[in-house]
Amino acid sequence: MLVALFRIYNPRPYFFVILNLLIVGAFLTYAYGWYKLLSLTVGAKIPWGLKEYSFVPGVHLIFENTSFTKITDVLPPFKLILTRDPWKFRGENNVYWITKMTTNRSIQPTDLEKLGYIASTFMNASSDKKVIIIDGIEYLVIENGFERVFKWLTVIHDIARTTNTLVLVPIKKEALKEREIALLKREFREY
> Does residue 53 sit within a domain?
no
Provide φ and ψ at 105, rounded to 5°.
-120, 45
Residue 19 pLDDT more than 80? no
Interval 29-53: pLDDT, tens: 766 665 555 454 444 444 434 444 5
Q: Are residues 94 and 183 in the same domain?
A: yes
Residue 85 sits in the same domain as residue 125: yes
- Identify the domain containing residue 15 by its residue range: 2-42
**Domain count along the chain:** 2
Of 16-20, 70-74, 110-114, highest mean pLDDT = 110-114
Inside any domain, residue 177: yes
Alpha carbon distance 185, 42 (integer Å): 25
Whether residue 147 is contained in a domain is answered as yes
Residue 27 sits in the same domain as residue 85:
no
| Same domain for 173 and 99 | yes
Q: What is the pLDDT of residue 14?
A: 67
49 lies in some domain = no
pLDDT tens across 130-176, in order? 889 998 899 999 999 999 999 999 999 999 999 989 999 988 888 88
Q: Is residue 134 part of a domain?
A: yes
> 112 with 156: CB under 8 angstroms?
no
50 within some domain = no
Q: How many CB atoms neighbour CB 27 within 10 A?
A: 10
- Looking at the chain, the whole-number percentage of residues with pLDDT higher than 70 is 71
The answer to whether position 163 is within a domain reads yes
